[in-house]
Chains A and B, each alone.
Chain A
Amino acid sequence: MSIASILNIARSAMFAQQASIQISSNNIANVNTKGYCRLDPDLREAPLIPTDYGLLGNGVEIAGFIRYFDKFLETSIAQRNTDLQEQKTSVTYFERIESILNEDSSRLATNVTEFFNSWQELSADPSNLARRTSLVAKGENLARTIRNIYSELNGLQRELDQQVQGEVDEINRITASIADLNEKIISLGSASQGEASDYLNQRAELLKELSGKMKVVSFEDQAGGLTVLTENGRTLVDRTNSWKLRTQQDPATGFRNIAWEDGAGNLSDMTGAISSGRLKALLDMRDQHLGNGFIADINNLAQTIITEVNSRHMEGYGLNGSTNVAFFAQTTSDFARDMNLSIEVKTDVQYIAVASSLGDFSGNDNALRIASLIDADLMIGGQSTRFSTYISTVMSNIGDLTKNAQDLSDHQESAMTVMEQQRESRSGVSIDEELTKLMKYQYAYQAAARLISVADEMFQEILQVGR
């Protein structure tokens, strides 16, 4: 036991407190860093040294760092993020579909009614060319409205298809990054949590981001390497290797399907195996809600209008004695996309078949038959209904879907907030706490410095005795 040993103890204390202050500083610096897990120094008493009086303390040392990380919580957050991102994506696109179909902007129901009202107007004065011209204008307006809605929905569908490609690219980037981080974490060794902390934080954030895109299963091996699988068991990341997802065009629809690529470059379709996440929302929106949903609805509406009006119109007679002339251009498949007036009607309003008999071409029977369609129960998309009811059902449908998605998104958001709160409670940085610690370490540092001063004075005293 010597005065020098006091100096050694003071030195170890000053080093330890200085390192602690550095850790606190880093915590404070990362107070707003997403996914950051706070660290604490793991201070331990230095190994005791034997003296004549027994074992005595020999100062302090930093055994390592404590990383406040709750693995279960992080996994739960990642899983929750899968549902949250799916609902958020759904909300975004449902709101866009809603804005396209919204009656206030599209005026679809109004234009359909006004079109059939124009037939009534014409029936009141069948030979009036101004009323015939007005009917043509209303018909063109209706056709344009339906074409515009179709075009906007179709554009949205194509945008979603491109988004699918973008998401797949992002997934590949994330899995490659996770594999890269795995390599760094494994090379540092499982015992070096402090050194690997930054990589672990980044990897946890990437896993959360990946989970938002599609449902994945992940687990960590003893060396710290993370394995990530798709829900149908396809490996995306295994330690330092990553596998890619690819898109391939479906020849039937022309849209992208998703496939998993094995090491040999073979592709296995897994579009149907994606059950949740942003990618699932994009696929559902593209194929179900738009393709088989609202685009089909608007197409069915256009088909019924074209078919019903044309079948009656072709039985009637125009002012010029014409018959068997279609009012809307005949089309066999993409009714909404191609909806337009026939060339004859566009170029000469006398082709509008208002009369039902050649001997009575000033009559209005045929106009009345067509006008009555507005109140008729017709087969639209396989259901017997009226035009306005069908349109209001479509509006109600998009309203319900949007509202449900918003409610679910709000619910997921709230749940996520609670979990984030728990995570932050465990891993987040508190300025007050760090300042307290800072003061604690500062005082300890000052005290250790004081020890040196005391040891110095003791040395001086001894030196004085010797003079």
Chain B
Amino acid sequence: MRIADRFKYDLFMHQFSTVKGNLDRVQEQIAKQKRVLRPSDDPVAYSISVDLRAESVLYEQLERNILRVTTFGRVYDTTFSTMKDLLTAAKGIAINHATGSMDSALRENATNQVESIIEQLVSLGNTVVGDTYVFGGKRSNVAPFRLNPDYSVDFNVPEGSEGGNEIFVDRGDTAQYNISGREAFYDRSKTVYANPMNGYTGEVSLNTTDLAFVVDATNNTIYRNGTAITLTQGTYTGATLASEIQTRLNDVVPPGQVGYVVAYDASTRRFTIANNTINDVTLDWSDPGSTAGQMLGFNSFNSTLSANGGRDTSDMDTGKTSFSVEMSADGFSYNYSVDGGTTWSGPVAVNGGTYIDGSTVANTTNRGVRINFSSTENLGSSTFDIKDYSIFDMLKNLKVALEQDNSAWSSGNMAKIDDGLDIIRRNTAYVGTNLQTMDSLTEANNARQDRTAKIISETMDADLAQLATEYNNLSTVYQSLMYSFTKIQELGLLNFLK
């Protein structure tokens, strides 16, 4: 075969270019310590690494979220421990006072201690981590508690913001990271508070700690997609009312198809309506005809529930109703108020009716609540409050009881201090469980991050030893090429004839 000179040189140029290109590639791989520098180097590996790197960024976020839950958990743990100490001290004071052996100096000292306990609890309730009030519930940028001069305490979180917020701690899985002041210092069981200034020393109790839901002609309608759904009139618990709503909603779902699920959460006193049908539906809470909305805690905005699982949960607590009771001077009747004392009812005979308003049937006013007095002795002019349990209310009453030297009150309300301790124990247990869960999630997340990093490394990272060897080989090839080029040049007839 004839060898033309141009081809000989072109061939060398091509070979030089190829080897030099490979050398540059290996050099870049060594410099960046990556085997795959661009998608075309290894499309599958590159694609996997893009997906995994995005996952890795997500895992970093989950790690931050878990850390936040853990940090808050540790703060709560410490806070509840201090709260427990403070309430235990308050209980000690109440026990001493209940014996009736405290002189005025001791009572004054005890009163100061109780005031100090209330102040410390308010301070704990306003604990800040970073720029977040940990007991602020959903509204975490405003101090949740305010101490009044009379040592009553206001909870400043609006009703819709009282709950805790959740954040993602795992893919598709959320956990509540904060405990609201409502959960930490209050309980949803209805409690009757006797004013320590009362002369009445007998027992006072309620027939229930829960409010009933009374459905009548004024609140029995829900509008769905513009069509009225009518609930059966009657008296319900939260659970039975949820069941009734579910039945009525499913009345229009064709047989054999999945319908609605309605649940009542006693811990939040809210209803949740889940739409498991195959169509989106709108609950027309803004329709004036949707008379059940307020009773069920939904505000007057329509909600669209997407098909196959869309949900709507009550915007408001359905059990906030409270009663103030003021006895007549003779102690045979009382007036009651459901709006905090702004308006009052007419006289109702003590132990006269079935329910607090004197009615013999449960209705939307009495919510099935009845107040019982063990006697009428010294009942005249006494006042009572029926509302959700509050550690602050209980302590403020203890303070008043000490000031009034009402040892009977202290003796009679010891269990209420224990109720406060129960709240703390319950929350401490919740925090402990949550911290354990976070520990497990941290481990799982770390393991996932390690695994992801390992796969990315195995897929993308360079084996430096291998690359160094390859680089040396290519260098040798390049040098050999230069050497052979020189030799082939020398072999020309032109050189021979010189």
Chain A residues with a Cβ under 8 A of chain B? 31-32, 94-95, 98-99, 101-104, 109-110, 112-114, 117, 120-121, 123-128, 315, 355, 357-364, 368, 371-372, 374-375, 387-389, 391-393, 395-400, 402-403, 406, 417, 420-421, 424-433, 435-436
- A425, B58: Cβ atoms under 8 Å? no
Asked whether A360 and B138 contact (CB < 8 A) given A126-B165, A388-B50, A424-B6, the answer is yes
Q: Which residues of A have CB within 8 Å of B140?
A: 125-128, 362
B487 on the A face (CB < 8 A): no
Q: Is the CB of B65 within 8 A of A428?
A: no
With A362-B140, A431-B494 known to touch, is A120 a contact of B65 (CB < 8 Å)? yes
Within 8 A of A (CB), among B308-337: 315-316
Q: Known interface pairs A120-B168, A121-B64, A403-B40. Does A431 touch B160 (Cβ–Cβ under 8 Å)?
A: no
Q: Is B131 interfacial (CB 8 A cutoff)?
A: yes
In the assembled complex, which residues on chain B have CB atoms less than 8 Å from the CB atom of A360? 138, 160-161, 163, 315
The answer, among B47, B165, B167, B171, for a CB contact under 8 Å with A393, is: B47
Contacts of A94 in B (CB 8 A): 40
Indicate whether B46 reaches chain A with its CB closer than 8 angstroms: yes
Interchain nearest-CB distance for B86 vs A (Å): 28
- B493 in contact with A375 (CB, 8 Å): no
Sample 23 A-B pairs with CB under 8 A, ordered by A number. Answer: A32-B5, A32-B9, A110-B54, A113-B57, A117-B60, A120-B61, A120-B65, A357-B299, A359-B316, A360-B163, A362-B139, A363-B161, A364-B166, A368-B167, A374-B58, A393-B47, A396-B44, A398-B40, A399-B39, A428-B2, A428-B7, A430-B2, A435-B493
Closest 10 pairs (CB-CB, A-B): A428-B4, A399-B39, A399-B43, A396-B47, A359-B160, A402-B40, A388-B54, A424-B7, A362-B138, A360-B160
Select A431's contact among B141, B163, B301, B493, beta carbons within 8 Å.
B493
A388 pairs with B61, CB closer than 8 A: no
Q: Is B137 located at the chain interface by the 8 A CB criterion?
A: yes
Residues from chain A with a CB closer than 8 A to the CB of B85 are none
B135 at the interface (CB under 8 A from A): no
Closest residue to A109 on the B side, CB-wise? B54
| Selected contact of A392 from candidates B47, B68, B132, CB within 8 Å | B47
Bitwise, B123-142 to A at CB < 8 A (1) or not (0) is 00000000110000111110
- Provide the bound-state CA to CA distance between A430 and B492, in Å: 10
B252: interface (CB < 8 Å): no
Task: Report chain B residues within 8 Å CB of A430.
Answer: 2-5
A97 nearest CB neighbor, chain B only: B39
Q: Which A residues lie within 8 Å of B158 (CB)?
A: 359, 362
**B16: shortest Cβ distance to chain A, in Å?**
14
CB pair A112–B54 under 8 Å, yes or no, is yes
Question: Please, what's the 1-or-0 string for B191-233, where 1 marks a CB less than 8 Å from any CB in chain A?
Answer: 0000000000000000000000000000000000000000000
Asked whether A420 and B53 contact (CB < 8 A) given A113-B58, A364-B138, A372-B168, the answer is no
Contact status B40-A95, CB under 8 Å: yes
Does B51 sit within 8 A of A, measured CB to CB? yes
Verify if B48 is at the interface (C-beta below 8 Å from A): yes
| CB <8 Å contact, B299 and A395 | no
Q: How far is the CB of B458 from chain A (nearest CB, A)?
A: 17
Given contacts A117-B57, A435-B494, contact A123 B165 (CB under 8 A): yes
List 11 extra interface pairs beyond A104-B38, A392-B50, A432-B494, CB under 8 A. A103-B46, A117-B58, A121-B61, A124-B167, A358-B315, A359-B159, A388-B54, A397-B43, A425-B7, A428-B7, A429-B6
Give bound CA distance, A436 to B2, whole Å: 14
Assembly CA distance A41 to B294 (angstroms): 111
Most buried by B among A95, A125, A417: A125
Contact check, A399 vs B46: say whether CB atoms are below 8 A apart. Answer: yes
Residues of A within 8 A of B39 (CB): 98, 101-102, 395-396, 398-399, 402
Q: Provide the bound-state CA to CA distance between A114 and B49, in Å.
A: 16
Is the CB–CB distance between A420 and B46 below 8 Å? no
B172 at the interface (CB under 8 A from A): yes
**Residues of B contacting A114 in the complex (Cβ-Cβ under 8 angstroms):** 57
Q: Contacts of B5 on A, CB cut-off 8 Å?
A: 31-32, 428-431
B497 within 8 A of A: yes
Instruction: Count B-side interface residues using an 8 Å CB cutoff.
Output: 64
Q: How far is the CB of A320 from chain B (nearest CB, A)?
A: 14
Minimum CB–CB distance from A339 to chain B (whole Å) comes to 19
Q: Which residues of B contact A112 (CB under 8 A)?
A: 54
Whole-angstrom distance between the alpha carbons of A371 and B3 in the complex?
68
Check: B177 CB closer than 8 A to any chain A CB: yes
Cα–Cα distance between A63 and B53 once the two chains are bound (Å)? 76
Nearest-CB residue, chain B, relative to A420: B7
Distance between Cα atoms of A396 and B36 in the complex (Å): 12
**Residue contact B315 to A124, C-beta cutoff 8 Å:** no
A90 to B50, CA, bound (A): 24
Q: Mark B69-106, 1 if CB is under 8 A from A, else 0.
A: 00000000000000000000000000000000000000
CA–CA, A99 and B40, complex, Å? 10
Looking at the assembled complex, report how far the CB atom of A310 sits from the nearest CB atom of chain B, in whole angstroms.
15
Per the 8 Å Cβ criterion, residues 353-399 of B in contact with A are: none
Do the beta carbons of A102 and B65 come within 8 Å of each other? no
- Interface hub of A31, A95, A124, A391 (most chain B Cβ within 10 A): A124
> Is B10 an interface residue when CB atoms closer than 8 A count as contact?
yes
In the complex, the chain B residue whose C-beta lies closest to that of A30 is B6
Among residues of B, the one whose C-beta sits closest to the C-beta of A396 is B47
Query: Is the CB–CB distance between B50 and A395 below 8 Å?
Result: yes
A224 and B172 CA atoms in complex are apart in Å by 77
Question: Which residues on A sit within 8 Å (CB–CB) of B51?
Answer: 109, 388-389, 392
Considering the chains assembled together, what is the distance between the CA atoms of A424 and B2 in angstroms? 8
CA distance A111 to B452 in the complex (A): 19
Residues of A within 8 A of B49 (CB): 103
B490 interface residue per 8 A CB criterion: no
Is B1 in the interface zone, CB < 8 Å from A?
A: yes
B160 in contact with A113 (CB, 8 Å): no
Contact B493 A109, beta carbon cutoff 8 Å: no
In the complex, what distance in Å separates the CA atom of A430 from the CA atom of B5?
5
Residues of A near B174 (CB, < 8 A) are: 368
In the complex, which residue of chain A has the Cβ closest to the Cβ of B157? A362
Q: A399-B43, A420-B10 are in contact. Are A363 and B38 (CB under 8 A)?
A: no
CA distance A22 to B118 in the complex (A): 117
Q: Is B450 part of the binding interface, using a Cβ–Cβ cutoff of 8 Å?
A: no
For B14, B41, B141, the residue with the greatest tally of chain A CB atoms inside 10 Å of its CB is B141
Which residues in A have their C-beta under 8 angstroms from that of B138?
Answer: 126, 355, 360, 362-364
Q: Does B463 contact A (CB under 8 A)?
A: no
Q: Closest Cβ of chain A: how far from B393's Cβ, in Å?
A: 25
- Quick one: closest B residue to A404, CB to CB? B40
In Å, the complex CA distance between A430 and B42 comes to 43
Asked, given contacts A103-B53, A392-B51, A399-B40, whether A432 binds B492 with beta carbons under 8 Å apart, the answer is: yes
- Known contacts A113-B58, A359-B315, A420-B7, A103 near B50 by CB under 8 Å: yes
With known contacts A362-B137, A431-B493, A117–B61 Cβ distance under 8 A: yes
Judged by a CB distance under 8 angstroms, whether B418 is at the interface is no
Output the least CB separation between B317 and chain A (Å).
10
Judge if B154 is at the interface, Cβ distance under 8 Å. no
For residue B251, CB closer than 8 A to chain A, the reply is no
Of the candidates B1, B42, B159, B167, the one having the most CB atoms from chain A within 10 angstroms of its own CB is: B167
Name the B residues within 8 Å of A372 (CB-CB).
168, 172
Q: Name the one of A362, A398, A403 contacting B161, with C-beta atoms under 8 angstroms.
A: A362
CB neighbours (8 Å) of A32 from chain B are: 5-6, 9
The answer for the CA separation of A391 and B140 in the assembled complex, in Å, is 37
> How many angstroms between the C-alpha atoms of A63 and B14 in the bound complex?
40
CB distance from A122 to the nearest CB of B (A): 10
Q: With contacts A357-B299, A435-B497 known, is A375 near B171, CB below 8 A? A: yes
Q: Give A389 to B50 CA distance when docked, in angstroms.
A: 8
Instruction: For the complex, give the distance between the alpha carbons of A431 and B497 in Å.
Output: 12
B2/A358 in contact, CB under 8 A: no
CA distance A427 to B7 in the complex (A): 11
- How long is the Cα–Cα vector from A436 to B496 in the complex, in angstroms? 12
Q: Which of B1, B42, B50, B160 contacts A363 (CB 8 A)?
A: B160
A353 CA to B183 CA, complexed, in Å: 26
